[in-house]
Structure 1
Amino acid sequence: MKWKKYTIQTTTQAEDFISSMMADLGIEGVQIEDNVPLSNQDKEKMYIDILPELPPDEGIAYVSFFLDAEKEQEALLAQVKDGLEELRLFVELGAGTITQSETEDQDWINNWKKYFKSFAIEDILIKPTWEQETDAGNYRCVIEIDPGTSFGTGKHETTRLCIQQILKFIQPGDRVLDVGCGSGILSVVSLKLGAGEVTGTDIDPLCITASRDNMNVNHLSEKTGRFYQGNLIEDDRLRETVGNGYDIVTANILADVVIPLTPVIPDCLKPGGIYITSGIIDFKEEEVTAAIEAAGLKVLEAIHLGEWVSITAKKE
């Protein structure tokens, strides 16, 4: 299906007013692009591991909406333009210009797939589900991943660092807790490397679905993996459900989430258990290290890849 995309150049002050006006006209769903820095509360709610670096906020915003390209839309567009002029009476609208382009459903759903190719981390081959398997015999195991709408192809530096540490510390039969499981890639890798069972948590319900789907894709028994939506930092009931006595806990999230998460981790680990963190930008390393030590865990090592850091600790 073809769509016409209309983009309004406006101000950050006006973007919510425009979105409301669109909803009143029956336009479902808008896309807002701006460079407004995220608050700490916003960061905690984000469903991706790594936040993009944004240019300076100059107060400019772009509000886009999509209309069926096969239908006549002149009357609705006229209503949008009238609505913009009404908004000018009480909010700074900026340019208020509308530009038009055309797209298709498949642009949104499938185009990104051409950038996700098979790759290896040590002797593990990670491949997208839509690629044919090649040279599988040369690898210890093959992991198939379809990230869907969740974060986690495994190719990002932070995930690579986590997988390297899992390879180093995992033992046959280990119980693994994957906090912020995303696509479930760390859970799948752990099971393929011999873990007895995994438990995953994420605040995004789509990540729970993706994790379960990737378990199935890799022919892993549902009995070996449990996945729960929720915030382990705040939800006492979730922590009770997840339980304790884990051999390994992984947290490939963000430094600003790892820091408040860390105090609850010792209760999840058994004595001698390993805590593997990642998603840590290098200038946050000392802050995360301090949080880990304050929680009573012993830092074993910090490894780096590019500007990213993974810190591994132990419950003594």
Structure 2
Amino acid sequence: MTVRDGWTTVVVRVRSDVAELVADQLWRFGPAAIEEQLGAEGAVLLAGFDDHDRAAEARAAIVQAGLGVEIVPVVDGGLDGWRRWAKVEHAPPFVVVPSWLESPEPAAGERVLRVDPAHTFGSGSHPTTRLMLGQLADVLAPGGSVLDVGCGSGILAVGAALLGAGSVLAIDIDPGSPAATAANAKANGVAHLVTVTTSTLNEVAADRSTRFDVVAANLLAPVIADLALDLERVVAPDGALVVSGLLADRWKATTARIPNLAVAAVAVDDGWAAVTLRAGH
């Protein structure tokens, strides 16, 4: 197989302290997913592309930034090779079960959330996803409205619906997200509660009549900073904004960009943080 015949991976080796910024640069070129592998000598970023030209553009940008980078072919037919290693994840109050695995008997107080992320983010394996699910359980009141920004697989939207949300709007500019989110909502019996679109956050915020009791945004720190004002605008007056994709030792610099909401709670797992903010707290 030649590199042009299928998926390719852009591999970048960086210092751990700049990995998030480099990942943000890679996202600009439209990879289906980015994996970060941490080691004693720094971090390795693996960005998967189904378009060789886009991968080449990403490589050129990283080279221009003075970093070492290479392009390698993916020989498993795409980004599905990880499925053989997928496992059940405990994300209280949920047990997150990949849809192709057998569901275990949940412990007392747990409920099963079945998910197939396809080629989107949100399998439940990343600490930020687990943190977000826990924070949603803490802040969401029965019947509340929820906006999931950058919904990916829809795991947070579906989780919110299972937690008792009255309605959930899930948005993501990734064209693969609506199908993945809709399928996961149906698999968990909450399709009637979840609406998914490729609308931008700015488009949602422009409708002044639409505000949400809970807004969830599991994104990269630079993206949250860029979207800060619109994230603030879509939160109802007594509502909550829950954000993650933030490193545990650096989240304050990002939440400082959201001036009219105050930090109400912080949860940390494996070097990552999820932060809940509220008005007048």
Corresponding residue of 1:35: 12
Match of 2:233 in 1: 267
- Do 1:162 and 1:310's aligned partners in 2 also have CA atoms closer than 8 Å? yes
Tell me, yes or no, if structure 1 residue 54 matches structure 2 residue 23: no
Shift of the 164–46 alpha-carbon distance from structure 1 to 2, 3 Å rule, reads: farther
Q: Judging changes above 3 Å, is the alpha-carbon distance between structure 1 residues 109 and 288 closer, same or farther for their aligned structure 2 residues?
A: closer
Q: CA RMSD in A?
A: 2.9
Which of 156, 175, 195 aligns to 2:126? It is 156
**Cα 1:168/1:63, change in 2 over 3 Å:** closer
Q: Deviations over 1:154-189 (max 9, x none)?
A: 121111111111111111001000001011000111
Distance 1:34 1:50 in 2: 10
Q: Which residue of 2 aligns with 1:200?
A: 170
Q: Percent identity?
A: 27
User: Which residue in 1 is equivalent to 2:57?
Assistant: none
Q: For 2:183, what is the secondary structure of its paired residue?
A: helix
**Residues 180-233 of structure 1 deviation map (CA, whole Å, 9 limit, x = unaligned):** 1011000111110100010011120111211111011112133x111111432x
Q: State the alpha-carbon separation in 2 of the partners of residues 32 and 314 from structure 1.
A: 40
2:160 matches 1:180? no
Alignment pair present for 1:288 and 2:265: no
How far off is 1:109 after superposition? 5.8
SS at match of 1:61: strand
C-alpha spacing 1:121/1:255, structure 2 compared with 1 (3 Å)? same
Deviation at 1:124, TM superposition (A): 1.8
Which amino acid counterpart does residue 12 of structure 2 have in structure 1?
Answer: N
Aligned position for 2:184 = 214
Aligned to 1:147: 117
Whole-Å separation in 2 of the counterparts to 1:130 and 1:220 = 19
Pair member with larger Rg: 1
Change in Cα spacing, 1:50 to 1:42, as seen in structure 2 (3 Å) is closer
**C-alpha distance after superposition, 1:115-158 (max 9, x if no partner):** 22122222422111112222147454211100101111112111
Structure 2 CA distance for partners of 1:44 and 1:197, relative to 1, 3 Å: farther
Point out the more displaced range, 128-137 or 305-314.
Answer: 128-137
Structure 2 residue matching 1:291: 3-state secondary structure:
coil
Q: Which runs of 5+ in 1 are unaligned?
A: 8-26, 66-102
Secondary structure of the 1:130 match is coil
Q: Contact 1:47–1:150 (CA<8 Å) still a contact in 2?
A: no
AA of the residue aligned to 1:207: S
Shift in Å at residue 286 of structure 1?
2.2
Query: C-alpha distance in 1, partners of 2:111/2:218?
Result: 22
Alpha-carbon distance between aligned partners in 1 of 2:278 and 2:272, rounded to the nearest angstrom: 21
Q: CA deviation at 1:244?
A: 2.4
CA 1:302–1:116: 2 relative to 1, 3 Å: same
Question: In the alignment, is residue 132 of structure 1 matched against residue 96 of structure 2?
Answer: no
Aligned residues: 248
State how far apart, in whole Å, the 2-side matches of 1:49 and 1:109 are. Answer: 8
1:306 paired to 2:276: no
Which shows bigger deviation, 243-252 or 209-218? 243-252
TM-score by length of 1: 0.69
- Write the letter of the residue equivalent to 2:197: Y
Deviation at 1:44, TM superposition (A): 4.9
- Unaligned 5+ segments in structure 2 are 15-21, 37-42, 46-62
Name the counterpart of 1:279. 245
Contact 2:217 2:243 survives alignment (8 Å): yes
CA–CA separation in structure 2 for the residues paired with 1:285 and 1:312: 11
Q: Verify the 8 A CA contact 2:13 2:69 in the aligned structure 1.
A: no
The 8 Å contact of residues 30 and 64 in structure 1, kept in 2 or not, is answered as yes
Give the direction of change, closer, same or farther, for the CA distance of 1:307–1:46 in structure 2 (3 Å limit). farther
**Closer/same/farther in 2, CA of residues 161 and 60 from structure 1, 3 Å limit:** closer
Match of 2:91 among 118, 121, 125: 121
* TM-score (norm: length of structure 2): 0.77
Normalized per residue, the structure richer in helix is 1
Structure 2 vs 1, CA of residues 205 and 242 (structure 1 numbering), >3 Å: closer, same or farther? farther
Residue 245 of structure 1 deviates from its aligned partner by: 2.3
Which amino acid in structure 1 is aligned with residue 164 of structure 2?
G
Q: Which residue of 2 aligns with 1:229?
A: 198
- Give the CA deviation at 1:59: 4.9
